[in-house]
C-alpha cells in the first residue's frame, strides 16, 4: 500500500489522528479473513453517509430557496448515489490505498464500485471525527462544487407541471392556469402552443406535438425563469 502521506496530499487534508484514515481505508474483507476481530470501515461509512447527507441537504436548501421538497429530493439523489461517490473515490485514488483481504485483491475488489463508494463515505466520517463538522463540510463542498454548478445550469426536472404547482402554491393557494394560444400544421402533424399563467401573470410558453407536451414545456419555461430570479407573484 502507498504511504498515507501521499494520499493526504491528494485529499488536501492532513489527519491529526492518522489511525482514523487507516480505519477508513480498511475493507470489511480483512475482518472476514482474519482469525481475530479486526476493525474495518463500515461504522465510519455509516457516519460519513449521514454527514454527507446533512451537508448537501443544507446546501441545497440554502442555494435554492424557491425549490420545493420534490425538487430538492431529486437534486440530492442526483448528487449522491453509488456511482457518483465511487467516481469521487477514483479521483482521489482511494482504490490503490484500500486495505483489502487477499481474496478481495485477487477478485478485483479495489476497483469495485461499492468498495470505492463506501471508502469515500468512510473518509468523510474520518475527517468529521478528526476535525469536526465545519472542516468536514468544507471538504465535502470542495468535492461537490462542480456538481452544484451543473444543477444551477440545468435543473433536473422530471415533472415540470407538478413542480411548478408545488413552487407556486408555496406562495399562493391559486394553482397555475394553462391556456392554448395557437395551433398550427396539418391534422396529422399538429403543433400546439400553450401559455401558463398565475394570478393573471404569464410565466412561460411552450410548444409540443400534443396539448400535454405543450403544457409541460410551458411549465418548464416558467420554472427556469422563476429559478433565475426571485418570484414576485403570489401573496406577500
Closest residue by Cα to residue 155 from 52, 78, 62: 78
Number of domains observed in the structure of the chain:
2
Domain identity same for 144 and 198: no
How much is the pLDDT for 2?
46
How much is the pLDDT for 8?
95
**CATH number for 112:** 1.10.1520.10
Q: Is 124 part of any domain? A: yes
Domain identity same for 37 and 141: yes
Q: Is 9 part of any domain? A: yes
Q: Which residues contact 53 (CB under 8 A, 6 or more apart)?
A: 76, 80
Q: Which residues contact 3 (CB under 8 A, 6 or more apart)?
A: none
How much is the pLDDT for 147?
83
Domain identity same for 124 and 29: yes
- What domain range includes position 93? 4-153
Q: Is 234 part of any domain? A: no
How much is the pLDDT for 232?
44
Residues labelled catalytic: 49, 121
Closest residue by Cα to residue 99 from 7, 165, 220, 206: 7
Domain identity same for 142 and 209: no
Query: Which residue is listed with cell 405543450?
Result: 214
Domain identity same for 92 and 29: yes
Helix segments in the chain, DSSP class H: 4-11, 18-24, 28-33, 42-63, 69-79, 82-91, 94-97, 102-106, 113-131, 133-153, 160-169, 211-228
Cα–Cα distance for residue pair 166/163, rounded to 1 Å: 5
Domain identity same for 68 and 181: no
Domain identity same for 202 and 224: yes
Contact (Cβ atoms closer than 8 angstroms) between residue 208 and residue 191:
yes
Cα–Cα distance for residue pair 209/217, rounded to 1 Å: 11
Q: Please list the pLDDT of the chain residue by residue as tens digits (236 residues).
A: 347 899 999 999 999 999 999 999 999 888 877 666 789 999 999 999 999 999 999 999 998 887 777 778 878 887 888 888 999 999 999 999 998 888 888 888 788 888 999 999 999 999 999 999 999 999 999 999 888 877 765 455 678 898 888 888 878 889 999 999 999 888 888 889 999 999 999 999 988 889 998 998 899 888 878 766 544 444 33
Amino acid at each position: 500500500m502507498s504511504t498515507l502521506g501521499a494520499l493526504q496530499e491528494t485529499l488536501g487534508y492532513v489527519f491529526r489522528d492518522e489511525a482514523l484514515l487507516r480505519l477508513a481505508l480498511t475493507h470489511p474483507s480483512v475482518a472476514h479473513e482474519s482469525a481475530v476481530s479486526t476493525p474495518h470501515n463500515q461504522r465510519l461509512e455509516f457516519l460519513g453517509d449521514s454527514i454527507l447527507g446533512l451537508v448537501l441537504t443544507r446546501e441545497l436548501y440554502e442555494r435554492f430557496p424557491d425549490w420545493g421538497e420534490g425538487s430538492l429530493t431529486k437534486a440530492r439523489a442526483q448528487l449522491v448515489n453509488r456511482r457518483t461517490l465511487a467516481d469521487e473515490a477514483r479521483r482521489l485514488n482511494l482504490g490503490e490505498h484500500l486495505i483489502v483481504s487477499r481474496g478481495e485483491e485477487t477478485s478485483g475488489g479495489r476497483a469495485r464500485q461499492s468498495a470505492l463508494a463506501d471508502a469515500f463515505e468512510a473518509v468523510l466520517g474520518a475527517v468529521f471525527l478528526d476535525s469536526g463538522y465545519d472542516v468536514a463540510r468544507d471538504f465535502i463542498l470542495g468535492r461537490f462544487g462542480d456538481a452544484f454548478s451543473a444543477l444551477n445550469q440545468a435543473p433536473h426536472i422530471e415533472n415540470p407541471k407538478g413542480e411548478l404547482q408545488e413552487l407556486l402554491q408555496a406562495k399562493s393557494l391559486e394553482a397555475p392556469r394553462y391556456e392554448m394560444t395557437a395551433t398550427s400544421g396539418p391534422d396529422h402533424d399538429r403543433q400546439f402552443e400553450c401559455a401558463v399563467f398565475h394570478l393573471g401573470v404569464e410565466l412561460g410558453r411552450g410548444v409540443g406535438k400534443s396539448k400535454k407536451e405543450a403544457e409541460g414545456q410551458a411549465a418548464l419555461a416558467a420554472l427556469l425563469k422563476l429559478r433565475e430570479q426571485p418570484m414576485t407573484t403570489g401573496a406577500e
